[in-house]
Amino acid sequence: MMNLHPESPEPNPARRWFSFIACGALCVVVFAAGVYFSDVMERRVGDVYPVVDEEAVEGNEGEDEGEETSPPEYAAVAGALTIDWIAPDEQPSYPDDSVFDRALCYGDGEYGGENINNCAEDPADMIRWSYKLGAVNGGAYDGRDLVMTSVPVAGMGTYYEVYYLLYDPAQEQAPVILDTLSRGVDWMLSSYQGTATGMLGEARVAKLSGYVIDTEATIPELTIETTLVEPPPGNEFAFIGYWQRLYSDEAISLTGATESVTLSDGKTLYLWEPKVDANGQVQDGQTGIGQNLFYLVDEDGRVVFYDLIVPFFANQVNDGSPDPSTGVPNVTWTNGSSNTATYLKGAVGGCGFTTVTHVVSQSVVDTLGLQQAGVGITPGRGTETSIYEPASYDISYYDDAFNSITWQSEDPKTYADYQHPYFYFQDSFDRWVEFMSNELVPPVECGKPVIYLYPEKTTNMSVFVKPRGGFSYTEPAYNDGWNVTAYPDGHLVNRADGISYPYLFWEGRGGLYTAPESYWVVAKSDVESFLRDTLYKMNLTQNESDDFIEFWLPRMQGAPYYKIGFHDTRVMDALAPLSLSVKPDNVFRILMDYAELQTTGSSKPPARLPRANRDGFEVIEWGGVLR
């Protein structure tokens, strides 16, 4: 033995031989215990999910010690998989896959790792739902179980990552992740459909040692049809978004749906009627944003929403995609003129529209005194649909809208200043649908979102924001994008006029919107300290927080209490997509929404607050719902 203390006497030789013997015996005991423990663990793990390579598991477990893990293998199985499906209401839960969970828990990004519910404390405690959907029939994966795993990612609201995997019931083959079928969805129906590797990110993919990622296999039944049709000459329905598997059983149980549609392929669409409590509030597990939409339950047990297409309504196209709520109706008015104006088909609220289709009850229609104002003409068919508008707008139903248009106008206006401000038609389900002229859309919008740019070096770049409902004001002038020179300290120069600005400023209207899922109830006297503390926790700078409070605090002084919530980057990207000609390292966006309260109430704070990274080229944006 090496003497680590040269000044100490050498050990006794007899004691040295005793040490060798003791160490040898200890090694034998440890080895035997390890074999026994490994056998027990293999049998236990094998009962839960297919056994993966022993070294791969050890590599994952050693991540905290910095041990390297081998990446997953990639495969490409051409063609579509044939699935023997289990009925959605009979699909059983599937045992958890602790290796996959460990990978999901890895990292500390804004949407992954520590933000997965309970993930940071112990992956075994994380919340997830796994269901066996059926089995593969034929081909390279014959006999594999098809499993869907949904994982909630907690932040300002709950976002769900959804993955599709194939497991070998015999536990002889590695698990397969179907890369092309991943989905993500939040409570606003803003759906992500891309690749599993894209949603996981590089850091988490690297932890999937022992797995196979198939980049080509598809399942036709899980390909969303953008348009559904009734047998000719029936209605058509446009895809709007997904909802979670978690609540599919509640959708299936809605046998009291007042309307259903049998489609050309034999499937049935049902009218979505969310359950409400005694106060008329949508219950947990339902989505009010699906009001007036139709739904079906996909083969994987998830709810898919569709909107009835109005045959004479040509939807606007924003950012390459049709806007389901805004467009130009193909209407011929009674005086023979053709409509050229834009109308909103959805119900206005927040900084966008709260329902895709604004259905007005028969009891309200009875108070409007409707009279025929023209016909809607279906292109290509020439069929006509009667269009109605009120004989007079001097009724209480229009008071709020009237107050809005007078408030936002420099010169006092009345409804007489507008051509056909509202019109109505009755669809094939006897629902009255309201259309509002885009000129009348009230000034409830995304208020003063400001964008700060922090490049690591002085950089010329272009910045693009595309709010779904368009801009009402920008500074500097937008001109199909802002072309600026941005400096590391945050100030920028607009290259069109050479003027320096502290940030880019816009106001406008977003897309499909619902109030934040989480919120705080705050006394008026505490609003400023609450905002400062919350913005600090989100890692905004003193200057950014001061700008925020300077604009919003004066607008939050008229009530004794305030209900305050925030939307995060993911929701802002859906409401008003942001892009830059120079790719930033990090983008952090928040949108505050608040409501006045006359009495205090309970808060429902988010599980975690997102934080700006402040690393590399950072883009920061804050805004609020202007009321």
* 547 shares a domain with 433: no
Mean pLDDT of the chain: 81
pLDDT, tens digit, 9 for 90 and up, residues 235-280: 999 998 888 876 666 665 555 677 889 999 998 899 988 777 777 7
Phi, psi torsion values for 61, nearest 5 degrees: -70, -25
| Higher local confidence (pLDDT), 579 or 273 | 579
Cα distance between residue 176 and residue 73, in whole Å: 9
Distance CA 159, CA 184 (A): 7
User: Do 304 and 332 have their domain in common?
Assistant: no
Q: Give the strands of the sheet with 500-501, arranged side by side.
A: 500-501, 492-494, 482-486, 459-465, 578-580
Burial code (b: 16+ CB inside 10 Å, e: under 16) for 234-254 equals ebebbbbbbbbbbbbeebeee
Encoding tokens for residue 112? 């992954």
Cβ atoms of 62 and 102 within 8 Å: the answer is no
pLDDT exceeds cutoff 60 at 330: yes
291 domain residue, yes or no: yes
**Of the ranges 54-58, 167-171, 265-269, 414-418, which one carries the lowest mean pLDDT score?**
54-58
pLDDT at 24 over 80: no
Q: Say yes or no: 304 and 348 in one domain.
A: no
Q: What size, in residues, is the chain?
A: 627
Indicate the burial class of 497 (C-beta count within 10 angstroms; 0-12, 13-18, 19 or more). Answer: exposed
Of 308, 325, 354, which residue sits at a domain end?
308
- The pLDDT assigned to 408 comes to 52
At 329 the pLDDT is: 93
Position 15 confidence tier, pLDDT thresholds 50, 70, 90: very low
pLDDT at 47 over 90: no
The answer as to whether 494 is a domain residue is: yes
Residues 615 and 593 in one domain: yes
- State the average pLDDT over residues 575-588: 93
- Mean of the pLDDT values across residues 224-234? 89
Least Cα distance to 165 among 248, 100, 69, 82 occurs for: 100
* Cα Rg of the chain (Å, integer): 29
* DSSP H or E segment with residue 43: helix 13-48
For residue 2, is it within any domain? no
* pLDDT value for 58: 37
If asked whether residues 418 and 502 sit together in one domain, one would say no
Rounded-to-integer distance, Cα 414 and Cα 573, Å:
36
Give the pLDDT score at 318.
53
Both 255 and 203 in one domain: the answer is no
Domain housing 162? 73-221
Residues 454 and 339 in one domain: no
265 shares a domain with 203: no
Q: Which of 440, 460, 482 is the last residue of a domain?
A: 440
More confident residue, 475 or 473: 475
CB 208, CB 199: distance < 8 Å: no
- Exposed (0-12), middle (13-18) or buried (19+): which is 323, by Cβ within 10 Å? buried
Q: Of 178, 189, 172, give the one whose Cα is nearest residue 214.
A: 178
Tell me the β-bridge partners of 425. Answer: 433
Nearest partner of 569 among 617, 531, 502, 622, judged by Cα? 622
Contact 353, 347 (CB under 8 A): yes
Residues 251 and 330 grouped into a single domain: no
Predicted pLDDT of residue 372: 96
Q: What percent of the chain has pLDDT over 90?
A: 47
CA dihedral sign of residues 217, 218, 219, 222: positive
How many separate domains does the chain show? 4
Residue 385's pLDDT band, with cuts at 50, 70 and 90, is very high
Structure confidence at residue 56 (pLDDT): 35
Q: Looking at residues 290-308, what average pLDDT do you find?
A: 90
Q: At which of 170, 204, 221 does a domain end?
A: 221
Residues 352-373 have a mean pLDDT of: 92
- What mean pLDDT comes out for the span 66-95? 86
Is the pLDDT higher at 551 or at 407? 551
Q: CA-to-CA distance for 165 and 149, rounded, in angstroms?
A: 8
Task: Give the pLDDT band (50/70/90) at residue 350.
Answer: confident
Residue 455 confidence (pLDDT)? 97
Q: 345: closest CA among 330, 357, 334?
A: 357
Q: Is 480's pLDDT higher than 80?
A: yes
Q: What's the confidence (pLDDT) of residue 111?
A: 45
pTM (two decimals): 0.80
Q: How high is the pLDDT of residue 13?
A: 40
pLDDT band at 333, cuts 50/70/90?
very high
CA–CA gap between residue 421 and residue 435 (Å, rounded): 8
pLDDT exceeds 90 at position 213: yes
Where residue 202 falls among pLDDT bands split at 50, 70, 90?
A: confident
Give residue for tokens 């477990």: 61
The pair phi, psi for residue 279, each rounded to 5°, is: -95, 5
Q: Pairing state of beta strands 384-390 and 370-377?
A: antiparallel
DSSP assignment letter at 557: -
Q: What mean pLDDT do residues 178-183 have?
A: 91
Instruction: Check residue 116 and report its DSSP letter.
Output: B
Question: How far from the centroid of its chain's Cα atoms is residue 555's Cα?
Answer: 29
Residues 357 and 255 in one domain: no
Are residues 262 and 268 in contact, defined by beta-carbon separation less than 8 angstroms? yes
Answer yes or no: is pLDDT of 93 > 60: yes
